[in-house]
Every structure is written in structure tokens, then in C-alpha cells.
Structure 1
Amino acid sequence: MKQMLILLCCISILVLSGGCVEKEEKEKRQNRDFTICTVEQTPDEVKKIIENKKKNPFQFTYSLQEYMYIVVGYGEQKGGGYSIEVVEFTEDREHVYVNTNLLGSDDTAGEELHSYPYIVIKCVKPEKNIIFL
């Protein structure tokens, strides 16, 4: 009888504790709309910040009214003709994720010249933190 009571208690504990495990699923990221700004479309305030930071790699955000400008610069590069691709611009409930990639230059003759490639991404201002990948 005592063994039966102990066995029943053990089974009850196992059954009741089984509901305590919480399964956490990785949240999927959704694509987010954005626009790449030309120099003419970039606000003057953002241009000034870029000018001050351009010699070294940088990342920053700038909010203006209902928009946010997300800027990624790659610092001083030899030659010209670089381009930048947006690899990822996604969001989940808490964050916006930004991943860009500097694409090489075909300009081998202009190695004595220097350029400062950067990209300005414009989106509706998120109420989330920006994560640069």
C-alpha cells in the first residue's frame, strides 16, 4: 500500500510538471518596405552627419517627421565605382534588421583616387530598435 502511494505521488508530480515546459518558437522576420535615397533626396542634416563621419565606417539612424533614415557608410575606399546592396531589411515584433554589403569596384586605374561609399535607406519610422547585421 505504501509503495502504491509513493508511485501515485511520483506519477502525479511528473504529469503536473509536464505542463511547466514552455516551448519558444523562433519568430520569423517579415520584409519591410524601404526606399534608397539619392543625394538629392537625402535631408541636409543627414548629409552633414555623413560628411563628418565619412572617413571611417559608420552606421546611424536619423528621424525626421514620420520617416527614419538608416545610413551605413564604408569609410575611405581606394578607387571609385563601388555600389552597396541591401541584403536584408526585415522586422519582427521588437526589432528592424538591416544588412548591407559593399560591392567591389571595377575601377583599377583610379587607385590614387578615394571614395566614401554610403547608403541612405528611408522607411516609415518604426517604433522598434534598429539592429545592424
Structure 2
Amino acid sequence: MTARHLKKQMVEVIHVENEKEFLRGRMWGRLTFLLVVALELMIFCVGCARFEVSDSGEPLLYDVCDETMLPDELVTIIDKKKENPFNLVYSNSTYTYIVIAAGMQERDDVGVTLEEMYKDDNAIYIKGVLRQVATPTDGVKGDNVSFPYMVVRIVKMDLPVVFK
């Protein structure tokens, strides 16, 4: 045998050994990837919780507030956000204020009214509706711009608020 043939056989032997190592490494790489994906999926699923929205519960005592009953900071926040519809929960040491705002309306005879509010073990549920509050006999023309909102004040509770 010539040196060329020996060199060719050695390259083939090295190539076969490297191919086995390559395939073994590829298998371990795929297995590691699958384990990492499974672990991430388990972490994601543990972080998710099912939250049931209740259709009924215990009624709450509340006050519908006018601007004079609101903390100054809350009035400032409402004035900044009133152009667009929004829901907001604001708390101080004594009360929780729940704000439902309808944004800019092309008429001034509408207002936000409270349709339902109750609590269960999981949350406080509230639903406000934009309604026409003036009738034609009230003498309101309804041709001005308004920013209707409603603020409900309740005793401070450590429950989340769900807007329906």
C-alpha cells in the first residue's frame, strides 16, 4: 500500500468516528431542546389561573360621588383622561373609588349610570351604562359636547375590580 491509500483509510476511520460523535451530539442536543421547551411550557401553565366571572353575588353599599367628594389627585387624573373612555380604580387609606368614563360625547344630555355592582369571594363586579339622562321635556337641547363619567365610592377592600 502506498502512503496515499493509508492516508485515505485513516481519513475514512476518523470520518466514521466523527460521524458517530456528531450523531450522538445531535441526539443529545435535540433531547436538551425538548426538555427546555417542556420546562418552559410547564412554567407558563403554572402561571395561568382560571378566574370565574360570577353573575351574582353579595350587593355592596356604595356612594355615587360628585366632584366635591373626590380626592384632588383623582380629579386631576380624571381631567387628564376624560377625552377617551376609560375605567379606573383609585384607593386611598379609607375608600376605593371606581371610575367609569364614557369619553367625549357629541351631546350633553347623556350620562353614565350604574347598572349593577356586587362582590363575591374573588372580585368586585361593576357595570356602568351610557344613557340619555335628559328627556325632551327637560329643555336640554343635547347639542353640546360633554365628558360623562361616574365615580362610585366603597369602603376599601383588597379585591380586584372587574368591569363588565
What's the TM-score bracket when you normalise by the shorter of the two chains? 0.7 to 0.9
Out of 122, 126, 129, the residue aligned to residue 157 of structure 2 is 126
Task: Compute the displacement of 1:81 (Å).
Answer: 2.4
Question: In the superposition, relative to structure 1, how do residues 29 and 39 fare at CA in structure 2: closer, same or farther (>3 Å)?
Answer: same
How do 1:101-120 and structure 2 match up within 5 A? 101-104=129-132, 106=134, 109-111=141-143, 113-120=144-151
Residue from 62, 69, 72 that aligns with 1:34: 62
Mapped to 2, the partners of 1:117 and 1:37 lie a distance apart of 13
Q: Indicate if the aligned counterparts of 1:79 and 1:105 stay in contact, CA closer than 8 A.
A: no
Is the CA contact 1:29–1:90 (under 8 Å) kept in the aligned structure 2? yes
Q: Which runs of 4+ in 1 moved over 6 A?
A: none
Kindly state the Cα deviation for residue 82 of structure 1 after the two structures are TM-superposed: 1.8
Mapped pair 1:80 → 2:111: no
Q: Judging changes above 3 Å, is the alpha-carbon distance between structure 1 residues 28 and 54 closer, same or farther for their aligned structure 2 residues?
A: closer
Q: Which runs of 5+ in 2 are unaligned?
A: 1-53
Q: Which runs of 5+ in 1 are unaligned?
A: 1-25
1:110 deviates by 4.0
% same residue: 29
For residues 59 and 27 of structure 1, the distance between their equivalents in structure 2, rounded to whole angstroms, comes to 20
Return the alpha-carbon distance in structure 2 between the equivalents of residues 74 and 27 of structure 1.
23
Distance 1:94 1:51, change over 3 A: same
Partner of 2:10: none
For the pair 1:66 / 2:94, whether they are aligned, the reply is yes
Count of aligned positions = 107
Give 1:43's aligned amino acid.
P
Say which SS state the counterpart of residue 47 (structure 1) adopts.
Answer: helix
Greater Rg, structure 1 or structure 2? 2
RMSD (Å), alpha carbons: 1.9
Higher helix share: 2
TM-score (norm 2): 0.60
Q: What is the distance in 2 between the residues matched to 1:105 and 1:123?
A: 24
Q: TM-score, normalised by structure 1?
A: 0.74
Tell me if the contact between 2:109 and 2:133 (Cα under 8 Å) persists in the aligned partners. yes
